[in-house]
A and B are shown apart, each in its own frame.
Chain A
Amino acid sequence: MAQLPRGQHGLSREYIAEHQRARLFAAVAAVLDSKGYAGATVSAVAGEARISKSDFYNQFESKDDCFLAAYDAAVGRLRGEVLLACAPHDGWAEGVCAGLAAALATLAAAPAEANLLLAEGLCAGPEVCARFRLLVESFVSHLSDGAPDLAAADRVTAATGEAVVGAIASLLGRRILAGEGAQLTRFFPELAEFALSPYVGVAEARRIISAG
């Protein structure tokens, strides 16, 4: 992200602060990705954002404070993209596929941010883990709401949606750690099959995915 011009530029203090925060969020993800959580010190993050340490502390109380804010911003972006992609679809299966495709595309387009959200970011401690948990939980209703009700056929249980979403988050985290963050979209067909199969069976899931 470009640095703002120095000196008299007539930009409001709020605008500059907002711009600095956005630069710091991008820097948190970039430094985490290149140096790991231990290497993501205030100096390293401020340096990457080309912001002085004193400006950093004007914005955030601590590294953890900045980390959580960066995490929340990334969650907001991912959720926004997924909701936007799901919205036009009335059908359950089409909505799930569109949401999954959008999630994979958003993560793959910003692998450092994906690493913050689903992989190395979790090293930051219990508070980030709690945010991660809420993120995963927030997607469960998108999968299970409006799903074909096959409970009578003993196929789908209360834990199904939660297990499927948790499983996908876990798989993506593992692949991000393995350095495959930028290629996450290639998992779309098998993850879509994995998500739909408990509800509609494997054959129908494959038919839906190949038709879409």
Chain B
Amino acid sequence: MPPSGKGGTGEQTAKRPAASARPALPREFIALHKQRRIMDALAELTAEQGYEATKISDIVKRAGVARKTLYDNFEGKEEVFLAAFDSARDELMRRVEEGADGGDDADGGWQDRLEGGLAAFLGFVAEQPTVARMCMIEALSATPATTKRYEDAVDAFVELTRKALPDDDRLPGTIAETLVGGVIWIVYQQLRRGEAERAEDLLPELSEFMTAPYLTSA
């Protein structure tokens, strides 16, 4: 992700009255930029060689920062991973929610909402395969804390799906969980095969999977 994504935070900081003659903007901007580079380096390295094999020395080399810089910003490798995971999850959630809302048109039916959210999810995976790999493969078994983060993120997507589905007593109580689980499984397999760039090809099939069987009951 380009560092410009963090520009908003920097501008807010700049509006604060400066305590000294030098504005705080450049230093904070550089710190955020470096944190971003460190997180991106970790995502790339874990995608290439796995979390376990990724060493702090690899991360700082890839990110082009001093070892001290990493430790000034993070407690260690796990914290870098969790920060990178959180950042990716936030962006993904935002895009999926926007996708479900269909931009300005908020009047879509539940199938449109599911398909819009699904398309945004697959778009994210295709655009950022290393980040997706880190979040959907490595997070599963990196450390107990990353596993927990992964499960919490799945919970959040289950909740989103539950809200998008029609309110129908005859739908199985576990339907949101199974639909999300099925989509994640197919995307996980695609990522594992190294075909993340083609994730959007899955849209027709997964959209069918999420909506078709229930059209008759909803």
CB distance from A44 to the nearest CB of B (A): 16
- A162 to B175 alpha-carbon distance, docked (Å): 16
Judged by a CB distance under 8 angstroms, whether B18 is at the interface is no
- Decide if B172 touches A167 in the complex (CB within 8 Å): no
Interface centre among B175, B209, B216 (most CB of A within 10 A): B209
The 4 closest A-B pairs by CB, nearest first: A166-B185, A170-B181, A167-B182, A190-B172
Per-residue interface assignment for chain B, residues 128 to 157, with 1 indicating a CB less than 8 Å from any chain A CB and 0 otherwise: 000000000100110010010001001000
A63-100 vs B, CB cutoff 8 Å, 1 = contact: the mask equals 00000000000000000000000000000000000000
Interface residues of A in 162-212 (CB under 8 A from B): 162-171, 174, 177, 187, 190-191, 193-194, 197-198, 201-203
**Which one of B33-41, B119-127, B200-208 is at the A interface?**
B200-208
Q: Could you list 28 examples of A-B contacts with CB < 8 Å?
A: A36-B144, A38-B144, A124-B141, A125-B52, A126-B141, A133-B189, A154-B208, A157-B205, A162-B185, A163-B182, A163-B205, A163-B206, A163-B209, A166-B185, A167-B179, A167-B182, A167-B185, A170-B178, A170-B184, A171-B178, A190-B174, A193-B172, A194-B213, A197-B213, A197-B214, A198-B213, A202-B216, A202-B217
Interface of chain A, helix or strand or loop or mixed? helix
User: Which of A129, A169, A201 lies in contact with B185, CB distance below 8 A?
Assistant: A169
Confirm or deny: B24 has a beta carbon within 8 angstroms of a beta carbon on chain A.
no
| Nearest neighbor of A195 in chain B, beta-carbon distance | B178
Report how far A19 CA is from B50 CA in the complex, Å: 36
Q: How many residues of B contact A (CB 8 A)?
A: 37
Q: Which of B144, B174, B181, B205 contacts A159 (CB 8 A)?
A: B205
- Within 8 Å by CB of A163, from B154, B175, B185, B204, lies B185
Q: Is the CB of B140 within 8 A of A122?
A: yes
Q: Nearest Cβ distance between residue A88 and chain B, in whole angstroms?
A: 27
In the complex formed, the residue of A with least CB distance to B52 is A125
Number of interface residues of A (CB under 8 A): 40
Query: In the complex, how many angstroms separate the beta carbon of A10 from the nearest chain B beta carbon?
Result: 44
Interface of chain B: mostly helix, strand, loop or mixed: helix
Contact B185 A198 (CB under 8 A): no
- Smallest CB–CB gap between A116 and chain B, Å? 14
Query: Does B19 interact with chain A (Cβ within 8 Å)?
Result: no
Q: How far, in angstroms, from A198 to B182 measured CA to CA in the complex? A: 13
In contact, A203 and B216 (Cβ under 8 angstroms): yes
The reply on B177 being an interface residue by CB < 8 A is: yes
B181 touches A166 (CB 8 A): yes
Which residues does chain A contribute within 8 Å of B141, judged by CB atoms? 122-126, 128-129
Confirm or deny: A42 has a beta carbon within 8 angstroms of a beta carbon on chain B. no
CB atoms of B214 and A163 under 8 A apart? no
**Complex-state Cα separation, A29 to B188, whole angstroms:** 26
A159 touches B184 (CB 8 A): no
Tell me which residues across on chain A come within 8 A of B206, comparing CB atoms. 159, 163
Q: Which residues of B contact A154 (CB under 8 A)?
A: 208
Contact B178 A194 (CB under 8 A): yes
Tell me whether A11 is interfacial, beta carbon within 8 Å: no
CA distance A146 to B167 in the complex (A): 33
**A163-B186, A167-B177 are known contacts; what are 17 more A-B pairs with Cβ within 8 Å?**
A129-B140, A133-B189, A159-B202, A160-B208, A162-B189, A163-B182, A163-B183, A163-B185, A166-B182, A167-B185, A171-B181, A177-B151, A187-B174, A194-B175, A198-B212, A201-B216, A203-B216
Q: Does A136 contact B (CB under 8 A)?
A: yes
Task: Mark each residue of chain B from 19 to 63: 1 if its CB lies under 8 Å from any CB of chain A, else 0.
Answer: 000000000000000000000000000000010100000000000
Residues of B within 8 A of A159 (CB): 186, 202, 205-206, 209
